[in-house]
Structure 1
Amino acid sequence: MAGKPKPMSQIKQMIILRQQGNGIKTIARMLDMSKNTVKSYLFKLDKLLENNRKTGLTTKKLLSMEDPEVEKLFLSGDPSYKDPRYEHFIANLPYYQKELKRKGVTKTLLWEEYRESYPEGYGRSQFCYHLGQQEVARAKPSMVLDHKPAEKLYIDFAGKPICYIDRETGEEIRCQLFVACLPYSDYAFAMAVPSQTIPDFLHVLGCCMEQLGGVPQLLVPDNLKAAVNKADKYEPGINRALEDFANHYGTAVVPARARKPQDKALVENQVKVLYSRVYAKLRNVQFFDIHSLNRAIAEKVKAHNQTRMQQKPYCREERFLADEKHLLGKLPGERFELRHYAELTVAKNNHVYLSRDKHYYSVPYSLIGQKVKVVYTRSMLYVFHKGERVAIHGRGFQQGPYSTLKEHLCSQHQHYRDRSPAYYRDKAAQYSNTFAKYIALIFKQDRYPEQLYRTCDGLLALARKVDEQRLDKACNIAMEYNQYSYGFIKNMLENNMTEATTEASGKELPKHGNVRGRTYYNEQR
């Protein structure tokens, strides 16, 4: 029985032929066995029946047993494990396992040392075989996970970079290949990005959602820095940017355990498959920008998803479209914008300074000296105080200037910023048309605007103190004499010259020939 064991079905045939009274030669001829093999099995049968007579084992019962049960009786144990060499090997096994963990130690090296200390021991192949069997026996069992459609999206980056060539310099630009898959259908997505930084990671993750046409319930990334701040087996610290992304898309993030790639084994397998279906097929093609590279990657991944899977009557794309796509969550109306956060103090000029932009943004003047929280995206900036949004600005990327909203300023500063000829004309029109006409004539003078603004401020202050009729009279007299100044109007009003002028103009001059009249003096002036 030193050869390969015979099938138990043949052993049962042998038992039946023996019951029928056939001899060893006849049985050997009918079953195409050697006489010694038949003799060995019949001897083994007799010994089994004799040793198990107390337990009630009979030939009839033996024939009714299943083949594995019969095999256990006839082939109980491997003789090699009763070999003294094996006992010596097992005694030294802890030492071998410990040494294999040391750098540079191989199974061949251990075998050479083993043969030096035990020359009659195993050969190299048997030694390595038994070491391998012990590793398999001590390995932890793997679990088959039951995946639900549209529940999870596994995320990973390939270990090998993928490259394109800079057309101008000829330099090879190395890119990272982002890989994701839905475990239920094994539907894959892949795209090259410049790096694994947070902006690139969230950009490619958004592109993946758009390609899928929906949002899964959970995102399962690796413990890369763009996704996890602090790796922990039970409570990993999710990057705030990824949390914002998940909130925007209405999903949750559950990172894989640190150094546990089996938590997302399907995407790890996708990476291995894409090495042959993307990397290998594009190895002889040159690309001169990342966009053309990604178009080629998309074509190869599409072909991969449409390839019929082994031992299954469908491809990944068919299963995804039939059972999964319609269960994905709805995409938001707008793409995600990466948010940044800062806590700043409002300066005396009621602005906050964002050092990243080197730009000033206004907030309500009532918050001067207080702390505010600033949230800014690529295009917008939001200011919050005690949970309430108090300001919104478009991002200003010019260094130094101010972005100021009028309503954030106090009344004095608003007045100062609003000054213009139109502003003063409108203010004067609230008192009288004559006053508005006088203000308009002031701005027709060839003088510096700041001086005219101050003149108008003084005139408006006078207008608030006198009645409309007196003001109009003073303005008419000033326009008559082409006097456009605050001091002229002020003197007339303080000295009641408007009334005196009216009374004097009412008296008639005596009639005589030496009268030159108003026209003459106007011409002289």
Structure 2
Amino acid sequence: MAVALGWDTAREPDEVLASRLLVAVRPGPKHEEPGETEGLLRPHRAQIESWLAGGGDQQRPLRLTKVHTLLRRRGVWVPYSSLHRFAKKHCGFGRQRATVRMVEPSPGELAEVDFGYLGLIPYPETGRRRKLWALIVTLCHSRHQYVHFTHSMKLADLIDGLEDAWEFFGGVTARVVLDNMRNAITRADHYDPTFQRTFAEYALHRGFVIDPAPVAMPTGKPKVERNVSYLRDNFFAGEDWRDRDHVQREAISWCLGTAGTRRHGTTQKPPLVVFEEIEKRVLKPLATARFDTPEWAGCTVHPDHHIQFRKALYSAPHRYLGRKVTVRGDRALVRIYRRGELIKTHPTQSPGGRSTDYNDYPQEQTAYALRDPQRLIRQACARGVSIGSFTRQLLSGTFPWAKLRQAQKLMRLTDKYGAQRVDRACRRALAFDLINVRRLERIIHHGLEDEATSSAVEQKVLPLEAKFLRPADSFTHHPHKEEDHHGDQDVTEDRPEEAAPLGGDDHVARSHGLRSQDKARTPGRPGVDPAG
């Protein structure tokens, strides 16, 4: 057979001849001819490929089981196993995709970030158990890592974990790869993703480039992906944890000990050693202070000239009343923007607090809002000397705020009748010590403000005659007996003590002015028992 295949017996056989001879003696068909089932499927090959590839009006690829059903509807009855072999051989179905090993990143170039769920741990504040999440940050060159534990996966938790990681490493990488998590990536896209505003500001603050992994592709960050299960199995599982802080303290020791000193399966070197010798010195230094995570929100300026942000109130200028504004708040300041322009800045208030700049109100409403007596007095003095004196007396006393409305009404009278006319009315009211704004308005309404200054003779207030005024000795009592040296008086039981009449002789009651029954009861008269 070898000679028939072209072997020259004078030479040693080679591997090419051995391969031909193996094919000739191998059992089975010598030529690959299509079988009966394959012959039924060959005419539908293009349609099967179209169903499996998707696109066009179909949009999504079909499963092979659905293709098997559609072929039966067309009268092609073949076993599913035969269809599977045909699709795999001729249509590329089930073919494993080739993988390409990427170039290893240079030191300090790349860090991969991923969240992973670990389990439940005690939560002392409520006495119940809460979910615990781990934020793993892995340096791709050395494979050294840091783990930050949190009870949620909010943006503030992500930024706090990254800040702790940079402090742990002593620097920042040039690029950060992370999942398309909602709190960091607003719109996931393979080519042009949209970053969340606060996270983009944080990346600019720290000086790294955000590089989101492809959507639904764990191989986009392979170096941190396997560390989630490694952390869960090697560190977290089987331990008795007290709270989150307990887990965090032990995790730092684990990163520097167990995970940092192990021989890595790919690099065959301890990650901590590679980090200390090579990567640590090329990281970007932490040049700025720790990032103060802000919060952004869209608000409306309400009719009271305030917006509500994080359960506190902040004033905005009057011209933006009813407008939509953008608010940025951090630990120190709250900034209000309108179409990208900064229009107001306030110190941050706690929930329930209020920060008001009274200059934001219209000028005519500022005095009313401030409730400042001295400001009203200054305004009154600027409008007239007598108006200032009237307002000063009106707002004098312990509680001037009780007369603020009258002072504000006085300011409105100057706008209605003119400052000069009101000033003359105030001069007349002050001459009569009449400190009442309503009666002052009556003076102006009746045109009496000029009478106070029409005559050169100074007018005086004359008191009216007192009709019922008694002389002073009417209230003086004259006892009949003088007190002894002990201060006691002698009381005579034989005759009653007569009271001295009050007032003068004109006030003494006459007997002819009494009724007959009263005369009988008068002391000292016959027929009346003095003892009673």
TM-score, length basis structure 2? 0.60
How far has the Cα of 1:395 moved from its partner?
Answer: 5.5
Is 1:208 the counterpart of 2:159? The answer is: no
Q: Which runs of 5+ in 1 are unaligned?
A: 1-43, 45-49, 63-69, 103-116, 118-134, 506-516
Is 1:187 the counterpart of 2:141? The answer is: no
Task: Choose the corresponding residue for 2:236, options 279, 294, 298.
Answer: 279
- Measured in 2, the distance between the counterparts of 1:199 and 1:77 equals 69
- Measured in 2, the distance between the counterparts of 1:198 and 1:90 equals 62
Task: Choose the corresponding residue for 1:405, options 357, 371, 387.
Answer: 357
Q: How many residues align?
A: 407
Aligned twin of 2:111? 153
Task: Choose the corresponding residue for 1:143, options 101, 104, 107.
Answer: 101
- Measured in 1, the distance between the counterparts of 2:133 and 2:255 equals 16
What are the residue-to-residue correspondences of 1:247-258 with 2, within 5 Å?
247-258=204-215
Deviates more, 1:361-370 or 1:371-380: 371-380
Q: SS of the residue aligned with 1:254? A: strand
Structure with the larger helix share: 1
Deviates more, 1:296-305 or 1:426-435: 426-435
Aligned twin of 1:367? 320
Aligned twin of 1:329? 284
Letter in 1 for 2:278: D
Cα pair distance change 1:155/1:437, threshold 3 Å: same
How far has the Cα of 1:448 moved from its partner?
Answer: 7.9
Letter in 2 for 1:483: L
Conservation of the 8 A alpha-carbon contact between 1:277 and 1:300: no
Conservation of the 8 A alpha-carbon contact between 1:428 and 1:460: no
Is 1:415 the counterpart of 2:367? The answer is: yes
Letter in 1 for 2:295: R
Conservation of the 8 A alpha-carbon contact between 1:219 and 1:252: yes
Cα pair distance change 1:333/1:205, threshold 3 Å: same
Conservation of the 8 A alpha-carbon contact between 2:294 and 2:328: no
- Measured in 2, the distance between the counterparts of 1:182 and 1:81 equals 56
Cα pair distance change 1:406/1:167, threshold 3 Å: closer
What are the residue-to-residue correspondences of 1:196-235 with 2, within 5 Å?
196-235=153-192
Aligned twin of 2:483? none
What are the residue-to-residue correspondences of 1:338-349 with 2, within 5 Å?
338-342=294-298, 344-349=299-304
Aligned twin of 2:340? 387
Deviates more, 1:292-301 or 1:322-331: 322-331
- Measured in 2, the distance between the counterparts of 1:273 and 1:313 equals 17
What are the residue-to-residue correspondences of 1:18-33 with 2, within 5 Å?
none
- Measured in 2, the distance between the counterparts of 1:444 and 1:168 equals 54
Deviations 1:270-320 (A, max 9, x none): 33443454235xx23x22221111111111112135415359796423432
Letter in 1 for 2:436: S
Larger radius of gyration: 2
Conservation of the 8 A alpha-carbon contact between 1:346 and 1:372: yes
- Measured in 2, the distance between the counterparts of 1:82 and 1:363 equals 93
What are the residue-to-residue correspondences of 1:264-343 with 2, within 5 Å?
264-280=221-237, 283-284=238-239, 286-304=240-258, 306-307=260-261, 309=263, 315-331=270-286, 332-342=288-298
Cα pair distance change 1:310/1:203, threshold 3 Å: closer
Conservation of the 8 A alpha-carbon contact between 1:191 and 1:294: yes
Letter in 2 for 1:309: R
Aligned twin of 1:494? 449
Deviations 1:188-209 (A, max 9, x none): 0112211334343333233223
CA RMSD between the two structures: 5.2
Deviates more, 1:73-82 or 1:493-502: 73-82
Aligned twin of 1:124? none
Letter in 2 for 1:384: Y
Conservation of the 8 A alpha-carbon contact between 1:361 and 1:403: yes
Q: SS of the residue aligned with 1:84? A: coil
Deviates more, 1:492-501 or 1:269-278: 492-501
- Measured in 2, the distance between the counterparts of 1:88 and 1:74 equals 19
- Measured in 1, the distance between the counterparts of 2:245 and 2:24 equals 61
Letter in 1 for 2:430: A
Cα pair distance change 1:466/1:177, threshold 3 Å: same
Aligned twin of 1:84? 27
How far has the Cα of 1:390 moved from its partner?
Answer: 1.0
TM-score, length basis structure 1? 0.61
- Measured in 1, the distance between the counterparts of 2:276 and 2:457 equals 95
Cα pair distance change 1:295/1:237, threshold 3 Å: same
Q: SS of the residue aligned with 1:424? A: helix
- Measured in 2, the distance between the counterparts of 1:405 and 1:200 equals 34
How far has the Cα of 1:370 moved from its partner?
Answer: 3.6
Deviations 1:117-165 (A, max 9, x none): 9xxxxxxxxxxxxxxxxx999562331422122221101123x514322
Q: SS of the residue aligned with 2:261? A: coil
- Measured in 1, the distance between the counterparts of 2:179 and 2:21 equals 45
Aligned twin of 2:435? 484
How far has the Cα of 1:263 moved from its partner?
Answer: 2.5
- Measured in 1, the distance between the counterparts of 2:164 and 2:32 equals 56
Letter in 2 for 1:140: A
Cα pair distance change 1:404/1:221, threshold 3 Å: same
Conservation of the 8 A alpha-carbon contact between 2:189 and 2:215: yes
Q: Percent identity?
A: 19
Q: SS of the residue aligned with 2:257? A: helix
Conservation of the 8 A alpha-carbon contact between 1:419 and 1:453: no
Cα pair distance change 1:327/1:336, threshold 3 Å: farther
Letter in 2 for 1:192: F
